[in-house]
Amino acid sequence: MSELTGKIVLGSNRYGKAENRVVRIQRDTPRHEIRDLNVSTCLRGDFDAAHLAGDQGAVLPTDTQKQTVYAYAKSKGVEFVETYALDLARHFVDDVEPVRAARVEIDDYAWERVSIDGVEHDHTWTRTGPEVRTVAVTVEGTGAERQEWVIGGVKDLVVLKSTGSEFAGFLTDPYTVLEPTSDRVMATSLVAQWRFTTVAVDWDTTYSGIRATMLERFANLQSKALQQTLFEMGRAVLEKYPVIAEIRLSAPNKHHFVYDLERFGLENPNEVFHADDRPYGLIQATVEREDAPDAGIAWERFVDWM
Ligand SMILES: O=c1[nH]c(=O)c2[nH]c(=O)[nH]c2[nH]1
């Protein structure tokens, strides 16, 4: 074993307030609106002194970041989460001297109005899900050096198709026991994140359109593997949305095994399954344009950094 004797130095670092739970009610009329967010902010810059000498002179407290998140929910509003995130990130970079780059990550929890006798209630909702819309905004530099990246996304989008999925012709070795199939259940809990090339976007319409495009491909593609399904979902999004440079998809293969009912003298032609929760295949792919602009630090995550 070789022993390392090099000088010990501070590596890359960032800090912020993770998971501020912000609920914003719009109550200008009797029909209220709700926005329910989980907002994380993080700052980068020259914070060496804080780490090396315990000197807080350049450190804007994480508590101040939290207060700003709540203040901006009122002063700027949260009608569009992407715009709210951009406002916050720009503020930290432009108004707080030591800050070179800021990142704001938001989970946007959806609520649906309760309907009573077919009439939507003004101020009562139920949480929908488990799917969650996500946003990650990064702002770096000032003046001519300024760069802004927006990554939209969805996570925990649980989707299942009961036919139209195959898996056959795979490589085999002495450990292979899997039987090929021409008709199986395909199910996943999709995580997708897409990088915009601009901040001039109709955020909500684009989000709904991308979600619908992915689901259309998942549903209508006669799938030979989850890998093919992911690529085709990504490709469809890029074909339809020129404002997207790349999309990253992560999909657990939620296996549904045909249950053995022969023991009870019953046929089971793909009707009764055991939904296995683990282990699961985990399939991940990026679909990108060859001419995509540089992603810079757009993908450098905060809350799930490691
Ligand atoms: O869509 C699939 N891709 C795989 O790589 C794989 N491997 C496996 O066992 N089943 C599946 N299904």
Q: For the segment 162-183, what is each residue's pLDDT rounded down to a tens digit?
A: 999 999 999 999 999 999 999 9
Question: What is the Cα gyration radius of the chain?
Answer: 24
Does domain 12-145 correspond to CATH entry 3.40.309.10?
A: no
Cβ contact 93:139 at 8 Å: yes
Q: Tell how far the Cα of 184 is from the centroid of ligand 1, in angstroms.
A: 11
- pTM attached to this predicted model: 0.96
How far apart, in whole angstroms, are the C-alpha atoms of residue 240 and residue 253?
A: 26
Task: Inform me whether the pLDDT recorded for 1 exceeds 80.
Answer: no
253 is in an annotated binding site: yes
Residue 28 carries which side chain, given as an amino acid letter?
D
Torsion sign (Cα): 153, 159, 164, 166: positive
Selecting from 3.10.270.10, 1.10.150.120, 3.40.50.300, 2.60.40.420, what CATH number does the domain 154-306 have? 3.10.270.10
Q: Which residues are catalytic, by number?
A: 17, 62, 255
pLDDT reported for residue 209: 98
pLDDT reported for residue 171: 98
Q: What are phi and psi of 94, to 5 degrees?
A: -85, -30
The tens digit of pLDDT for each residue in 44-76 reads 999 999 999 999 999 999 999 999 999 999 999
Residue 252 to residues 128, 163, 190, 231: CA-CA distances in angstroms?
21, 18, 7, 15
pLDDT reported for residue 2: 86
ipTM: 0.99
Question: Is 154-306 in the same CATH topology as 12-145?
Answer: yes
Where in the chain are the domains?
12-145, 154-306
Cβ contact 285:194 at 8 Å: no
Task: Inform me whether the pLDDT recorded for 98 exceeds 90.
Answer: yes
What does the DSSP 8-state code read for residue 156? E
Mutational pocket test of ligand 1: of 182, 226, 257, 282, the residue with most ligand atoms within 8 Å of the beta carbon: 226
Pairing verdict, β 256-258 and 273-275: antiparallel
167 is in an annotated binding site: yes
Mean pLDDT for the stretch of residues 79-93: 98
Question: Three-class SS of residue 26?
Answer: strand
62 is in an annotated binding site: yes
Q: Which atom of ligand 1 is nearest to the CA of 225?
A: 1
Mean pLDDT, the chain, as a whole number?
98
Task: Inform me whether the pLDDT recorded for 85 exceeds 80.
Answer: yes
The tens digit of pLDDT for each residue in 6-22 reads 999 999 999 999 999 99
223 lines ligand 1 (CB under 6 A): no
Mean pLDDT for the stretch of residues 145-159: 98
